[in-house]
Amino acid sequence: MPRKPLIAANWKLAKTLTEAKSYLDAFKPELSAQQIDLSQIEVLLAPTSLVLGALVGQAMASGAEADGCPFKRMLAAQNLAAQPEGAYTGEVSAKMVADLGLGYAIIGHSERRSLFGDTDDIVAEKVKRALEAGVAPILCVGETLEQREAGQTDAVIRQQLKIAINSSVEAINAGKNALVIAYEPVWAIGTGQTCDAIEADRVCGMIRGELTQLLGEATANTTRIQYGGSVKPENALELMQQPEIDGALVGGASLDPVSFVKIVAAAQQALALKAQCPVAV
């Protein structure tokens, strides 16, 4: 059977609490209109930490999953600290994310690596902290344009995976669906350029092969690998039809609820096609 697709919206530094509430007012009925089966497709929204906390508080105050939408389970963190606690002003720990009842955190996004100095070693610490707290890392890996043009794509990603995972092998293998990988070619993020679907699938297959070496075949076969990088409704189906691509990490196109739900609908259509295809996962 195909792996359950995971479609995650990374809002980055966008949306106030007021704007997020307006988004959700449109998002929930759009899921119904597109007949999204949330038992078959996993959907995440990752707002800023400030908005995230407020939305979780709202969900808890309501005492239930509002309007038939599993709202709280859809929320995820954009980042977390490499340290468990201490004098680190402005940081949010893995324990804090877990205490809110959140299941996922994005770790190692290229913007964190390039703008905020998240080295491979720091990313590894964040992965370790997340797993310790029971939060599944969405581990981002990917190459720059210069690295791709130099033929270094596979080597760069293998190195990122090895460093991020080596100290957490036991924890990953101990937990079902404890790790998600997001392949995000840096040159495609926010540029409008999308990696060719066949090439994206090849890289995701290479990633799965590396996971087999690091974690063993059983874990590698169940680990979901997303594609991210200028994903939009127009290319989502072609990407997610590929056998090694198990969803998408969506940036700009996730900021509009109608656009984002169209991507979710494409994932649902791709899942049905994979289930019918004998060569699919």
User: Is there a catalytic annotation at residue 146?
Assistant: no
pLDDT given for residue 61 in this prediction: 76
Cβ–Cβ < 8 Å for 273, 2: no
Task: Read off the pLDDT of each residue in 97-110 and give the average, rounded to a whole number.
Answer: 96
- Name the pTM for this structure: 0.94
Does pLDDT of 171 surpass 90?
yes
Torsion of CA 121, 124, 125, 130, to 10 degrees: 160
Catalytic hit among 109, 111, 125, 210: 109
Distance CA 134, CA 163 (A): 20
Spot the catalytic one: 30, 42, 143, 184: 184
Q: What pLDDT is attached to residue 170?
A: 96
Using one digit for the tens of pLDDT, what is the confidence trace for 11-37?
Answer: 999 999 999 999 999 999 999 999 999
Q: Could you give the CA distance from residue 191 to residue 228 in angstroms, rounded to a whole number?
A: 12
Q: Is 184 a residue of the active site?
A: yes
**CB 80, CB 94: distance < 8 Å:** yes
